[in-house]
Amino acid sequence: MLNADSADSAGSEVTAADDLRRQVRGFLEAHEAAQTDRLEFLRARFDAGLAWMHYPAGLGGQGLPRSLQPVVDEQFAAAGAPTNRPERNAIGLGMAAPTILAFGTPEQKERWLRPLWTGEEVWCQLFSEPGAGSDLAGLATRAVRDGDEWTVNGQKVWTSSAHIAQRAILVARTDPSLPKHQGLTYFSVDMKAAGVEVRPLRQATGEAEFNEVFLTDVRIPDADRIGEVGQGWAVSNATLMNERVSIGGGAAPRESGSIGQAARTWREHPELRTPGLHERILRLWTETEVARLAGVRLRQQLAAGQPGPEGSAAKLVFAKLNQDVTEFEVELAGPDGLRYADWSMRRPDGANYFNRDAGYRFVRSKGNSIEGGTSEILRNIIAERVLGLPLEPRVDKDVPWKDLPR
Amino acid sequence: MSPATQTQTQSRHPAPPAGAAAGAAAPNLLYTEEETALRQAVRSLLEDQAGWRDVLARSESDQTYDAGLWQKLAQQVGCAGLLVPEDAGGAGASYREAAVVAEELGRSAAAVPFLGSAVVATAALLSVGDELLAEVASGAVTAALAVPFATAPGVRPAPTVRIDGPAPGDAAGTYRLTGTVTGIADALPADVLLVPADGVPYGLYAIRADEAGVTAAPVTSLDMTRQLCDLTLEGVPARQVAAGEAARQAVETAVAAGAGILASEQLGIAERCLEMTVTYVKERRQFARVVGSFQAIKHRLADLYVTVVQARAVARYAAECLAAGSPDTPVAIALAKATCSDVALKAAQETIQLHGGIGFTWEHPAHLYLKRAKADSIGFGTADAHRGSLAVLADLPPAGAEGA
């Protein structure tokens, strides 16, 4: 029966795909890619409902399954059409947009989604704070209501893209007298507003992928609040849920990533091999390939509509393996492992693992078990939500936030 | 209609789910509906007839293999002939289904010769298309390949059985075998033994276990739920099943299949151990708390869960490669056996530790899984041996070897 159903839905997807191809052809006839201004082209594509196919009509999409997106993207790419440079706006596209779609007012969706999709407005995420890492709900940035506006003061940290962003999503504390989860509210902020100061945050690798953002008496119109006052935790969770969904991606081939670099070095440099290192590379190669297969299986589960709890396991494994493999790489390099390409302060576009030396990968990988959920928090999540073990004792759940020890 | 019969009438290699098309040729690592139905049939039989107290009691009896249970599993559920095509008298299923049965047998540690007869011996017979196939597939005959359980794929066991010429009065085509093979799994309940023997010609020979001159001496085994035996042959009349390269190929294929499916058995062990332990730490109280509320315990079990997720993906991959005859099968088997050996053993050890004192008693199933897991980790190649074979398969040569 399952086969019959999937054959039906596959059939209707084929029809929808043909229809979309016709639409894109028509669009490209009316807006010749080479002759049209880049932004004009992208805005027109959004207005034609050919931007993100799973978004509703009128907001750049047609309410179609996500699986049809490649049909459209491939045809635009083949025509040499300009892209919206999604790599520059990962937070905007992957996290801010779905949150706006779920919780924004019609006016907010109208105002923000088009420039977000075209890339005119890059978004960043003002969530983590120096005093609120794993315990995000304990955050201290204050937003105080003042008529039709809010005044915001606080400090955010580990903010990707803040230095190129026009807008941000922000969670701030609006009622310190309530327990921590209840006193939060979610906003959108103009990053060019007075009182927003972005400073590079230099990391252990020497460069600064991230930023610190200082908010001093920043005025936010109440019209830019997303969701109800006090609903900030629920809205933030929706955002973070999207972070987990967007981690997916396509199945990488065997020997992609750090293990591929290590294996190439191993093959090209017989003089570096020792019996102990041989044992280690066989182990690491095996573990990496098995983790890759687990990723393939996870995607098949998601595609078959059986979202398994295995997703939480994937990041835990990736972080540990990447650390183990890169540590191995530096040791394999021998005397060259003592050299490092460049400690100078720079602003890269993001983590670039693969045109860099092993030393960089070794140092950068230490962030893998911290960013996007520490390995300790992930183990709690697996133990509690997957295995059903008792929750950690929560001494801060029912106490007004202002009375918590800090 | 039994689930095994259903597998005959439905597609043999179900397509991956719609939408998984990222790699059109991506191997299906999930369980199909037919596989799930087969699992349920096997599990309900095992829960009914091979609870851990039954398994423990049998391991201390004279008949360590459960012949009655094996007959039901083989004939009623149809597990004996999963690998054999319908036109050869089998169920026309594949290694994917065999792997699911192995998972269930790992969960119960039941003493039946499924691995030895329906997987290893059957793979050898399939490789040469032997006449015994139909009887083995129906469950009427139980067969075993006479190689040490510790044999790893690609490693030819040292010749310990030699061929003597036909004795006076023997029919044409009769050979006589003399020698010993030690530490064979699933041979005690076998009716027919497939014996690799050296000489001219090197070959694979079939002998009846009840023939004069055959001694199958039970071994007190680390894993008494799969009791080994030492086989001694003194001029035993034998029929040649295959000779030369075909015989070598049959033995190699059979051992590789054994290793690949054993990985799924190990997955079953690990999964059962994890479940049992999670259940226990939710009930057991110390310091007025359930012990499962301590973070030290939660994190250990989370880590164990993660390894089981990895083991499932790679065990499924090995089963799928075996079923599809993929060129990546040797890599898949090495990955699966290396990984699942460690995972099952780790799970069994954690089961004992996290149960505390009760887990170290005889009257608790934990030691059955510990012994099964440790024996399985040696059976058909240790994790180390399988990682070692990846040195060649993945082109990661050892120190002292020149690059490719």
List the CATH number of the domain containing B228: 2.40.110.10
Q: Do residue B24 and residue B98 come from a single domain?
A: yes
Amino acid at A296: V
Average pLDDT over residues A283-303: 92
pLDDT of residue A377: 92
Q: How many domains is chain A partitioned into structurally?
A: 3
Nearest CA in chain B to A65: B19
Chain A CB contacts of B15 under 8 Å are 3
Chain B CB contacts of A275 under 8 Å are 398-399
Instruction: List the CATH number of the domain containing A282.
Output: 1.20.140
Residue A322, burial from CB neighbour count under 10 angstroms (0-12, 13-18, 19+): buried
Q: Which of B15, B278, B396 shows the shortest C-beta gap to A281?
A: B396
In a domain, A131, yes or no: yes
In a domain, A387, yes or no: no
The CA distance from B44 to the nearest CA of chain A, in Å, is 24
Res B119 pLDDT > 70:
yes
In a domain, B150, yes or no: no
Q: DSSP secondary-structure letter at B165?
A: P
Q: Are B215 and B231 in contact (CB under 8 A)?
A: yes
Q: Which of A268, A294, A392 shows the shortest C-beta gap to B403?
A: A268
Surface of A (78-117) touching B: CB under 8 A: none
In a domain, B154, yes or no: no
Chain B CB contacts of A3 under 8 Å are 11, 14-15
pLDDT of residue A151: 98
In a domain, B307, yes or no: yes
In a domain, A199, yes or no: yes
pLDDT in tens, A163-193: 999 999 999 999 999 999 999 999 999 999 9
Average pLDDT over residues A332-357: 87
Average pLDDT over residues B128-149: 97
Q: DSSP secondary-structure letter at B88?
A: G
More confident: A34 or B384: B384
In a domain, A170, yes or no: yes
Q: Do residue A229 and residue A279 come from a single domain?
A: no
Binning chain B into helix, strand and coil, the percentages to the nearest 5 are 55, 15, 35
Chain B CB contacts of A373 under 8 Å are none
Q: Do residue B124 and residue B171 come from a single domain?
A: no
Q: Which residues neighbour B394 within 8 Å (Cβ) at sequence distance 6 or greater?
A: A263, A285, B331
Q: Which of A243, A255, A287, A331 is catalytic?
A: A243
In a domain, B85, yes or no: yes
Q: Do residue A129 and residue A233 come from a single domain?
A: yes
Q: Do residue B176 and residue B306 come from a single domain?
A: no
Res B231 pLDDT > 70:
yes
Please identify, among B216, B247, B278, the residue that sits at the C-terminal boundary of a domain.
B247
In a domain, B375, yes or no: yes
Instruction: List the CATH number of the domain containing A151.
Output: 2.40.110.10
**Interchain CB contact of A346 with B (< 8 Å):** no
Q: Do residue B240 and residue B278 come from a single domain?
A: no
- pLDDT above 70 covers a percentage of chain A that reads 93
Average pLDDT over residues B167-176: 87
Q: Do residue A254 and residue A278 come from a single domain?
A: yes
Instruction: List the CATH number of the domain containing B342.
Output: 1.20.140.10
Please identify, among B142, B175, B210, the residue that sits at the C-terminal boundary of a domain.
B142
Cβ-defined contact of A390 to B314 (cutoff 8 Å): no
Q: Do residue B23 and residue B123 come from a single domain?
A: yes
What's the first-to-final CA gap in chain A, in angstroms? 58
Q: Do residue B93 and residue B211 come from a single domain?
A: no
Is the reported ipTM for this assembly greater than 0.85? Answer: yes
Q: Do residue B41 and residue B135 come from a single domain?
A: yes
The CA distance from B301 to the nearest CA of chain A, in Å, is 7
Q: Which of A76-85, A114-123, A295-304, B285-294 has the lowest mean pLDDT?
A: A295-304
> For residues B118 and B74, what is the distance between their CA atoms, to the nearest angstrom?
8
A384 has catalytic annotation? no
Surface of B (323-342) touching A: CB under 8 A: 334-335, 338-339
In a domain, B111, yes or no: yes
Beta bridge partners of B176: B164, B237
More confident: A2 or A64: A64
In a domain, B153, yes or no: no
> For residues A310 and A308, what is the distance between their CA atoms, to the nearest angstrom?
5
**Interchain CB contact of B392 with A (< 8 Å):** no
In a domain, A211, yes or no: yes
Chain A interface test: which of B287, B298, B321 (most A C-beta within 10 Å):
B298
- DSSP for B303-363, please give it: HHHHHHHHHHHHHHHHHHHHHHT-TTHHHHHHHHHHHHHHHHHHHHHHHHHHHGGGGGSTT
**Interchain CB contact of A325 with B (< 8 Å):** no
Q: Do residue A229 and residue A257 come from a single domain?
A: no
Q: Do residue A39 and residue A75 come from a single domain?
A: yes
**Interchain CB contact of A267 with B (< 8 Å):** yes
At A66, is the pLDDT very low, low, confident or very high (cuts 50, 70, 90)? Answer: confident
Q: Do residue A229 and residue A137 come from a single domain?
A: yes
Q: How many domains is chain B partitioned into structurally?
A: 3
In a domain, A311, yes or no: yes
Other beta carbons within 10 Å of A381: 16
pTM of the entire structure? 0.90
Q: Which residues neighbour A49 within 8 Å (Cβ) at sequence distance 6 or greater?
A: A57, A58, A60, A61, A62
The CA distance from A63 to the nearest CA of chain B, in Å, is 17
Q: Do residue B131 and residue B243 come from a single domain?
A: no
Helix (H) or strand (E) holding B9: helix B3-9
Q: Do residue A231 and residue A302 come from a single domain?
A: no
Please identify, among B109, B142, B175, the residue that sits at the C-terminal boundary of a domain.
B142
At A308, is the pLDDT very low, low, confident or very high (cuts 50, 70, 90)? Answer: low
Q: Do residue B383 and residue B258 come from a single domain?
A: yes
> For residues A182 and A179, what is the distance between their CA atoms, to the nearest angstrom?
6
Res A243 pLDDT > 80:
no
Q: Which of A67, A250, A291 shows the shortest C-beta gap to B310?
A: A291
pLDDT in tens, B323-376: 999 999 999 999 999 999 999 999 999 999 999 999 999 999 999 999 999 999
Surface of A (49-68) touching B: CB under 8 A: 67
> For residues A352 and A336, what is the distance between their CA atoms, to the nearest angstrom?
20
Q: Do residue A226 and residue A256 come from a single domain?
A: no
**Interchain CB contact of B294 with A (< 8 Å):** no
Domain span including residue B187: 161-247
Chain A CB contacts of B404 under 8 Å are 267
Nearest CA in chain B to A268: B403
Surface of B (6-45) touching A: CB under 8 A: 11, 14-20, 22-23, 26-30, 33
pLDDT of residue B199: 84
Nearest CA in chain B to A280: B387
Q: Which of B289, B310, B401 shows the shortest C-beta gap to A290?
A: B310
Res B167 pLDDT > 60:
yes
In a domain, A101, yes or no: no
More confident: B139 or B401: B139
Domain span including residue A25: 15-83
Q: Do residue A51 and residue A145 come from a single domain?
A: no
Q: Do residue B97 and residue B229 come from a single domain?
A: no
Q: Do residue A236 and residue A199 come from a single domain?
A: yes
Helix (H) or strand (E) holding B207: strand B203-208
Q: Do residue A225 and residue A283 come from a single domain?
A: no
> For residues A353 and B45, what is the distance between their CA atoms, to the nearest angstrom?
52
In a domain, A363, yes or no: yes
Question: By C-alpha distance, which of B239, B188, B242, B202 is closest to B61?
Answer: B188
Q: Do residue B138 and residue B7 come from a single domain?
A: yes
What's the first-to-final CA gap in chain B, in angstroms? 54
Instruction: List the CATH number of the domain containing B128.
Output: 1.10.540.10
pLDDT of residue A5: 40
Tokens of B257: 């299949």
The CA distance from B278 to the nearest CA of chain A, in Å, is 7
**Mean pLDDT of chain B, nearest integer:** 92
In a domain, B108, yes or no: yes
Print the SS3 string covering chain A.
Answer: CHHHHHHHHHHHHHHHHHHHHHHHHHHHHHCCCCCCCHHHHHHHHHHCCCCCCCCCCCCCCCCCCHHHHHHHHHHHHHCCCCCCCHHHHHHHHHHHHHHHHHHCCHHHHHHHHHHHHHCCCCEEEECCECCECCCHHHCCCEEEEECCEEEEEEEEEEEECHHHCCEEEEEEECCCCCECCCCEEEEEEECCCCCEEEEEECCCCCCCCEEEEEEEEEEEEHHHEECCCCCHHHHHHHHHHHHHHHHCCCCCCCCCCHHHHHHHHHHHCHHHCCHHHHHHHHHHHHHHHHHHHHHHHHHHHHHCCCCCCHHHHHHHHHHHHHHHHHHHHHHHCHHHHHCCCCCCCCCCCCCCCCCCCHHHHHHHHHHCCCCCCCHHHHHHHHHHHHCCCCCCCCCCCCCEHHHCCC
The CA distance from B258 to the nearest CA of chain A, in Å, is 20
> For residues B147 and B120, what is the distance between their CA atoms, to the nearest angstrom?
10
Q: Do residue B271 and residue B383 come from a single domain?
A: yes
Res B93 pLDDT > 60:
yes
The CA distance from A348 to the nearest CA of chain B, in Å, is 30
